[in-house]
Structure 1
Amino acid sequence: MKQFFKTTICAIGIFSIYMSAPSFAAKTETYNQLNLFADVFERIRANYVKDVDDEELIEAAINGMLTSLDPHSTYLNPKRYEGMRVQTSGEFGGLGIEVTMDRGVILVVSPMDDTPAFRAGIKAGDYITRIDGEQINGLTLNEAVEKMRGKVGTDIDVTIVRKGESDVIEITLTRAIIEVQSVRHRIEDEVGYIRVSSFTEKTGPGLREAITEIKEELGDNMQGIVLDLRNNPGGLLDQAVAVSSAFLDRGEIVSTRTRNDRNIQRYNSQRGDSIDGKSLVVLINGGSASASEIVAGALQDHERAVVVGTQSFGKGSVQTVMPLSTNGAMSLTTAYYFTPSGNSIQNEGITPDVVVEQLRLDDTEEVRTRRSEASLRGSLANPNADDEEEGDEEEIDLNLGSEEGEEADSEEESEEEEEQRLTTAQDDYQLNFALNLIRGMSIARSN
């Protein structure tokens, strides 16, 4: 009740300010809408078929207000806010998937390397329609995420619908502490391979360390670097800037612009090229989103790298986390990202310089339909496009009411997918192409 009266008093205060404003009629209508909210709130409290918690009602109203704006604006209660802060530090509990809400179910943006979801064979573009037998329909993204979290070591059953497959897939996962090693590296002959799986607080330092170790091992024989950003769902902006800076001598990396371009923030390279101009190839795909698109776009616009793979996800909006008085926070979309050439990533993504589909060398499997930011319900239009419609949708049968799908089949498929994902250059077609491209560029430079 205290919260309710605070809301009412706040509404009265707002109204008193509006009374002195020039557009009195418009402000009066806003006050009437606030009064309508208070009326609905009171009627629910008084007449709903069972008792409801005032705090839960207010939180649901805030959630509804934010999620109606776009797929990425959301309310973080104190528990989720703390969980988000832990996650960006690079260690947290869960299944290891980056998700968003699409058509009332959970869309997997990307599984994280070496996590329960990754090892079970969950793929970018998969839909999670049930959690422990309960349908996702009707839940908010926050509620669904909370159901997927739990005590480390406990099991959770998820139902997966995958594009191009008629049967649903039932998978049992065991919750674990997710320790994200966001940067891994190895040597492929005389080419350095660096895999960046997400952008956490440890990514920038991890990249520098990887480059140093590759240079020490290869010395003057190093032909170049392959930077793998495939299925990287993004993360911290400052770490995207740090990664880009590692390969640029100078210049703008990214800019952010609020509505009507009233506030433009530019981020520039602060360091010299750490690989001394050696050849660089960046790998991306439909699971590369947000911060990974910033890096690919910056290196592409400065002609510092050849971008190889498939069209990226297209998440070009900035979310600002704003702490609230309740110890929670709200993540609000406040700006757009723009590459150095002035292009917006939103709904468009990064187009590779060389399009290479991911095909196994021994099996030209059918390429799945691309899932992207533009296909999400309520996605924001690209600010560079005047006539583009928001939230283009693609039809897909989600089998929401189906109970079919045998667990034995899904377990066999999960083992096969795990084997495919633990790839080397010999069975990763895109990586093999990138390595050969580096070698060809090195020969061209030496001649």
Structure 2
Amino acid sequence: MRKGILPIVLGIIIAFAGTRLVACAGPVWPNQDEQRFLDAYRDYVDKNATDDQLDRADNLFVETVQVLRETYVFDVDTAKFVDDAIAALPKLEETTDRSPDNIVGEALDQSLHDLDPHSAYMSEDMFKRLQESTEGSFAGVGIVIAQDEDKQIRIVSPIDDTPAARAGLQPNDRIARIDDHDMKGQPIAEAVRLMRGRVGEPVKLGILRKEKSFDVTIKRAKIEVPSVTASVIDNDIPYVRVSRFDANTLEQTQDYLQELKEKVRNPRGIIVDLRRNPGGLLDSAADMADQFLTKGLIVATEGRGERKMRTYEADRSSYFDGIPMVILLDRGSASGAELMAAALRENGRGVIIGERSFGKGSMQRIMPLSGGGGVKITTGYYTTPENHIVQGNGVVPDIEVQLKDAEEFDREIDLAHALPPRRRDPRKTITTVQADNCAANIDIERLGNGGFHPEDQAPNPQTDEIEPQDGDKTADNAQADKGEPPHDEVLECAVGYFNNGMLAQYRSQVEPLLRAGL
């Protein structure tokens, strides 16, 4: 491991993360402002709440305000924060769970979201699930699910060699019930929650398959979900897709890179695909970039008052050193994916093709609270090797490839209470092309067992361990029904960059700039 990196078991993934887990301070006495909230929230809790429950909830609030005061990326007006938390209480009158912990947690969550979109309170259950997701494994049945237009939970595919696959579940099966809970109209988050459990515990699924309906009981098992897949394109282009950065990403990547190195003796180029990658563990993203860099700064963090807090330097031997590289980004590439792409380009290693990325360049820390649960607090900005900041700006591709009929898409800067941008990279896109103008037929040989491939799935379907962002059915899901991979025009355009495709004419413009560090 790189010197100074926290043990990977301490990292916690978030939706777009690059996150660290640290310990909170113990119980502290409330100040005058904090006491105002402690007096106010008691009017909204269950009248039968015990003194111990109230004391634990009091400490939860005071600890959180202390963390904000000491670590938030900007100075926080704690008196206003308390006022906002008090103002949130009347909105909780219809809440069914009126325990002190839940009332305080809900008020905290709303007030934290008013600071920025990524700061949040997490209940004990949410905190545990977040920890599980960083490990790249979970206890469940092993299926990829989506929600169709009829608000039914649909199986996109069972993951190979899992209890769901062995039980004979098939793509396009509908899950009507989970342990006798009717799932019609229920969100995917509820299906995720109900299918989780302890290893060896059974879960009963009510399945609809065409005109048939039947029940199947499946024992939960530890499910390993790959974050990396790899292929060989047109016999001589290694292709690595990274769908997120978790605790297993580096090991999976190194295994694939070694296999690709042995399989492709004279590579024409290499493609690293970071599209739809929402981020994850910062250490993992930095280690991934380090696989292709022999030296140079990868990323740094900048805290309150633009104080530099931490740096990640390349110190590994480089795979495919000297081989031309393309990095694929799109509007769904965020956080660690953006930082990895910027590090490779700014160190002169690769050309970015695709779309401007999401623009999430803030750092969160996950801090456990002494009474259970935790808080996710924004503590800084990430800076690229050339001291640019991704937050609110995104990473601009060297060559932009536009998809036909692309829908409008909110980026980080469009989110409510988004942190302000700083120090934008002045680079400009060299050219913009339409994807269907440069697409071409390519031959893809997949490595591995040929099972679950994240690149074949739309961003929306979810495995049953991950909280969904959007469960609606998409056109790509319809292709998944037939077992056919979606037509990937952007990838086809990128392959053309290495040979005689439409984008090849720009090699002479882009690569000298890379070598010059521009």
2:414 and 2:158 map into 1 onto residues whose CA distance is 25
Give how far 1:267 is off. 0.8
1:40 and 1:415 map into 2 onto residues whose CA distance is 42
Helix, strand or coil for the counterpart of 1:80? helix
Cα 1:344–1:11 change in 2 (3 A) is: closer
Give how far 1:263 is off. 3.9
Q: How does 1:16-55 map to 2 (within 5 A)?
A: 30=79, 37=86, 52-55=98-101
Give how far 1:269 is off. 0.6
2:239 and 2:311 map into 1 onto residues whose CA distance is 30
Given that 2:237 and 2:269 are in contact with CA atoms closer than 8 Å, whether structure 1 keeps it comes out as yes
Q: How does 1:204-353 map to 2 (within 5 A)?
A: 204-219=250-265, 221-353=266-398
Helix, strand or coil for the counterpart of 1:344? coil
Counting aligned pairs with the same residue, the percent is 30
Give how far 1:53 is off. 2.1
Helix, strand or coil for the counterpart of 1:149? helix
Matching of residue 196 in structure 1 with residue 237 in structure 2: no
Cα 1:77–1:49 change in 2 (3 A) is: closer
Quote the residue 1:416 is aligned against: 479
Quote the residue 2:46 is aligned against: none
Relative to the length of structure 2, the TM-score reads 0.57
Give how far 1:347 is off. 1.6
Helix, strand or coil for the counterpart of 2:131? helix
Matching of residue 149 in structure 1 with residue 183 in structure 2: no
1:267 and 1:211 map into 2 onto residues whose CA distance is 22
Helix, strand or coil for the counterpart of 1:223? coil
> Which of 79, 83, 108 matches 1:62?
108
Matching of residue 383 in structure 1 with residue 427 in structure 2: no
Given that 1:309 and 1:352 are in contact with CA atoms closer than 8 Å, whether structure 2 keeps it comes out as yes
Once the two structures are superposed, what CA deviation does each residue of 1:357-384 show, in whole Å capped at 9, x if it has no partner? 24xxxxxx41212331122222211133
Q: Structure 1: any 5+ residue segments left out of the alignment?
A: 14-25, 99-110, 121-130, 137-143, 157-174, 359-364, 386-408
Matching of residue 374 in structure 1 with residue 413 in structure 2: yes
Once the two structures are superposed, what CA deviation does each residue of 1:298-349 show, in whole Å capped at 9, x if it has no partner? 1111121010011111111111011110231111111111111111111211
Q: Which amino acid aligns with 1:285?
A: D
Q: Which amino acid aligns with 1:368?
A: E
Relative to the length of structure 1, the TM-score reads 0.66
Given that 2:85 and 2:110 are in contact with CA atoms closer than 8 Å, whether structure 1 keeps it comes out as no
Helix, strand or coil for the counterpart of 2:194? coil
Cα 1:326–1:352 change in 2 (3 A) is: same
Cα 1:413–1:336 change in 2 (3 A) is: closer
Quote the residue 1:78 is aligned against: 124
Cα 1:185–1:412 change in 2 (3 A) is: closer
Q: Which amino acid aligns with 2:479?
A: E
Helix, strand or coil for the counterpart of 1:249? coil
Q: How does 1:48-197 map to 2 (within 5 A)?
A: 52-92=98-138, 93=140, 132-133=184-185, 145=189, 148-151=192-195, 179-188=224-233, 189-197=235-243
- Relative CO higher for 1 or 2, CA cutoff 8 Å, sep ≥ 6? 2
CA-atom RMSD, angstroms? 4.4
Q: Structure 2: any 5+ residue segments left out of the alignment?
A: 1-50, 64-75, 147-155, 165-170, 173-182, 197-202, 207-217, 425-471, 512-518
Give how far 1:416 is off. 2.9
2:278 and 2:95 map into 1 onto residues whose CA distance is 42
1:194 and 1:12 map into 2 onto residues whose CA distance is 46
Q: Which amino acid aligns with 2:52?
A: K
Matching of residue 4 in structure 1 with residue 43 in structure 2: no
What is the aligned length? 347
Given that 1:11 and 1:31 are in contact with CA atoms closer than 8 Å, whether structure 2 keeps it comes out as no
Give how far 1:178 is off. 6.0
Give how far 1:73 is off. 1.1
Give how far 1:355 is off. 0.4
Given that 1:187 and 1:193 are in contact with CA atoms closer than 8 Å, whether structure 2 keeps it comes out as yes
